[in-house]
Structures are given as C-alpha cells and as structure tokens.
Amino acid sequence: MSDRLGAGRGGGGGVGLTAAAWPRGGASGGARLIHADPTTGSLEETHTEDLPRLLSAGDLVVVNDAATLPASLRAVSRLGPVEIRLAGPPERAPEAGALLVPAVLFGPGTWRQRTEDRPPPPRLRPGDTLAFDESFAARIVQVSRVSPRLVELRFDRVGSAWWETVYRLGRPVQYSHLAGPLDLWHVNTAFAARPWAVEAPSAGLALTPSLLRALRRRGIRLVAVTHAAGLSATGDPVLDARLPFPERSHIPEETVEAVQATRSAGRRVVAIGTTVVRALEGRASEPEGLRAGEGLTTLRLGPTHVPRVVHGLLSGLHERGESHFELLRAFAPSSVLDAVLDRARREGYRGHEFGDACLILRKDP
C-alpha cells in the first residue's frame, strides 16, 4: 500500500479512510467487514470471523499462497546511497550462474517518510554496480525508458546463496502510516508458501488458522494460486499510473479442477484479494481459457470486464481512483462501492494492508 489512501496501485488522491497503523495481534485477524450484495445493494456490517456464515457449503475459496519477500534493501552506488525495492521474484538469467530481478530505486530516506516525499534516486545507468555489503552486489543491466527508477538488476549469486543473503539484509516494504518497523511474520499469511510477493497479499492476513478450519467445517473448499503481488507505490507518478506491473502467477491443476467443478455445480468461486482475481481472470481471458501452469498476468480489470471465473471477493477497503477500486467495479456497480465507502468512513473502518475488509458477493448462491 502507498502512504495515502487513494494513491496506491496507480492511485488518485483526496482525504479518505484512516489507515490502520499496525497488525491486529499476532495473527492479524479480527477485521471488521462490510458485506455488500452487488445485485441488491444491501450492506451488512459484521466481522471476518463471520465469513463461514456468509458463504455456503459447496462454495470455493481461492487464496494467494505467495509468501512475502524482504524486498527492501539498502545499497551504495557510485553516486551515493539508494534503497532498492524488488518489483518481482528473481528469474534465471540466460547466462549460467546469474539471476535477473526487476526493481524500483529510491533516493536517501526511510519508510517513515511518505513515498511521494522521498527524493529521487541518483541517475544511474546500465553497468553501474549497487553494493549491498562487502560481498553482495548487483549490476544494473537495463533502465526503463518510462522512468529511471525502474531497473533490471543482475545478481551473480543464485540458489540458496541469493535467498540467504536477501533474507539477511532485506526488510519488508512498508510505508509511513505504520507505527513501527515490520517483521516478516507481520506480512505473511497463515498459508504462505513460495516467496514470490514483494508486498503482502494482504486480504489473506485475516484468514487465521481457526477461520480456515471453520470454513472447512462449513463444507467450503479451499484451494490456492501463487501470484507475485507487486509494489503498490513507486514515488514516481508516471510509474504509479502503470501499476500494477505485469505479475507472475502459477495456477495448480487442483485449483482449475475445483473452479470448474464449483461453477458446474452452480456454486460460487470467492477470491481472497485482488491478486487472486488478477491471476484467475487473467488466465481465463487468454485464448485457451483457464488452465493450469505458470504465466504472466497483464490484465487490468475494470467496469467493462465481465468476470469469467470469480463470482465475488474479499478485499481491503479501497478509495475511488485506486486501480484496486477499479477492479472492484468488475463485481459491483459504482453506486454499491460508493455506499460501502460512505458506510466505512461513517463507522470508522480502517484502510490499508492491516485494515478492515469488504466482501463483494451476492447473498444467494
């Protein structure tokens, strides 16, 4: 999330919801929840622990099991200090023994400053080296034409050596609305698996182990996708307008089969978070339709998109102008989403990654 509600994921602006400044306890559970029926416009205020009641036996819940990387690293360049925020998981370089990682550069400063107030990074160029410590460095191999902040880095360490060093030196990406420095357990869900996300797939933080058990007891099936949730703010308005960047996802065969069986039975497919929606709807929009395997998600959803797979979703509260808000318009008319925001503001709901939630889903299967 960005520092301003209304500025994240390619955001707009304006005063909005108060940001949640810290996770709820050790499990980040217990969020307040507004359930909005997009067909009737009815709103119900409840809590995420009531999710089993709001769903029905035979419904399918799809989570994003991507673990969150410590994606913020400090480095020194030939022109001074920089912060590097990884913008995606590493990929094997064509040459042996190297990894390529997209990244966004920031100038001097810390997370306690608003992203939009951070100074820009020095003007670096391909071939420049970024040193993280005495033995760990990366070389810039490409600088984006869109913005000099967006680069591709080449690391000579691969395998466990790369992972061990990043986990030793890195910190979770975070923003100035938070009360203190985050640790990795704050930004990882109860079902986190492969470390692909550079910011938390935060809708899943509310699904505690006890809530997951309650869903299963209710007869609700749980499956996963792995989606590389990306950065929500870059400090550069030009880049922010392009968020989210293309994001990598993997959909298991089990998930494809479960989605098809659920829809054939006339039940509902419920996504936990917008990243799950992007993964499923992005793959379903391809000529081959929804299929298992790995791919790159580029789909930007909005009011003109007719969902092919997902019936509804659990999401954080997003302000008008955010691309997340635009995605929600694929599932509910603006009048319903406006009513959710108005109710949330009036009743003191909290925004951002540790904030409260909304469930956009028709009440009748």
pLDDT at position 99 over 80: yes
What pLDDT band is residue 2 in, cutting at 50, 70 and 90? low
Mean pLDDT of 102-130: 95
Return the DSSP state at 248. Answer: E
Q: Which amino acid is at 51?
A: L
- Residue 31 and residue 357 in contact, taking contact as beta carbons nearer than 8 Å: yes
Lookup: tokens for 226: 């792995």
Q: What is the mean pLDDT of residues 101-110?
A: 95
Strand partners, 19: 351
> What is residue 6's predicted lDDT score, i.e. its pLDDT?
40
The pLDDT of residue 300: 86
Token pair in block for residue 296: 């790159």
Q: What is the pTM of this model?
A: 0.93
What average pLDDT does the chain have?
A: 91
CB atoms within 10 A of CB 348: 10
Cα(244)–Cα(297) distance, integer angstroms: 10
Q: How far apart (Å, rounded) are the C-alpha atoms in residues 129 and 120? A: 18
pLDDT for 203-242, tens place per residue? Answer: 999 999 999 999 999 999 999 999 999 999 999 999 998 8
Domain boundaries, the chain: 18-68+181-360, 72-169
Residue percentage of the chain with pLDDT more than 70: 94
Q: 344 pLDDT exceeds 50? A: yes
Which tens digit of pLDDT belongs to each residue from 240-261? Answer: 988 889 999 999 999 999 999 9
pLDDT value of position 12: 33
Mean pLDDT on 86-98: 85
CATH 3.30.870.10 fits 18-68+181-360, yes or no: no
The answer to whether 94 and 306 have CB atoms below 8 angstroms apart is no
H helical segments located in 201-295: 209-217, 237-240, 253-264, 274-284
State the Cα–Cα distance between residues 290 and 258, nearest whole angstrom. Answer: 12
